[in-house]
Amino acid sequence: MAEKNKKRGRFTSLTGTVVRTNGDKTAIVDVVTIKKHLVYNRSIKKRVRYVVHDGNNQCEVGDKALIYESKPVSKTKRWRVGKIVEKSRPVGAGDGAGQ
């Protein structure tokens, strides 16, 4: 029998930026990962958009959110919002642009 490397009870979590909250209890989170190429030693940026279940409608566009894997909620939703790491600032708040 082959042993599995994945431990039970652990869930995958990612941090990304909320880019859209059009649907009810749904948000689109953009996760960017940067890795070095093994041969050419250049940075490679990979961007993935996840459809996330936001049960309390707490996400706003621009927020940094911690998301984690869960059982399927709908056809495309396989992730849930864990918590909001950083709230977005409203445009023009505190920078004196309106004066």
| pTM for this entry | 0.78
Position 99 scores a pLDDT of: 55
Domains of the chain: 14-86 (2.40.50.140)
Taking the C-alpha atoms of residue 91 and residue 51, their distance in angstroms, rounded to an integer, is 25
Taking the C-alpha atoms of residue 15 and residue 29, their distance in angstroms, rounded to an integer, is 9
Position 11 scores a pLDDT of: 79
Contact (CB, 8 A) for 30 and 16: yes
Taking the C-alpha atoms of residue 19 and residue 68, their distance in angstroms, rounded to an integer, is 17
Contact (CB, 8 A) for 62 and 86: no
- Looking at per-residue pLDDT, the higher value among 16 and 2 belongs to 16
Pairing state of beta strands 13-20 and 64-69?
A: antiparallel
Tens digit of each residue's pLDDT (9 = 90 or more) over 23-75: 999 999 999 999 999 999 999 999 999 999 999 999 999 999 999 999 999 99
Token pair for 89: 């600032």
Confidence at 84, pLDDT banded by 50, 70, 90? very high
